[in-house]
Amino acid sequence: MFNSQKGITLVALVITIIVLLILAGVTISLVLNNGLIDRAQNSVQVYDNAQQNEMEQLNHAENVFNAYYTNLTTPTTPTTPQGE
């Protein structure tokens, strides 16, 4: 008769675990040695600075617009020349 066993062998399981450990080690060394975390933190700082700069520009533009709009809607009183 045929001997058909289903399942995974211990050797296949050990080889799979070893391959996963090697991949994890390579990934960790790439992340730490290439400064990936430092570059990510630097990118966050650059993004925050750009966002702050954009907010300052928008606030300035809003102030200029409000000043201009206020001057348009404020009624002016006619002035009489002096000496008349």
pLDDT the model gives residue 39: 87
CB 71 within 8 A of CB 77: no
Taking 70 as the pLDDT cut, the residues of the chain under it are 1-5, 74-84
pLDDT for residue 75? 65
Take residue 28 and report the two structure tokens written for it.
Answer: 């960790």
Say what the pLDDT of residue 3 is.
65
pLDDT value of position 13: 92
pTM above 0.85, yes or no: no
Write phi, then psi, for 75 (nearest 5 degrees). Answer: -70, 140
Q: Can you give the pLDDT at residue 73? A: 73
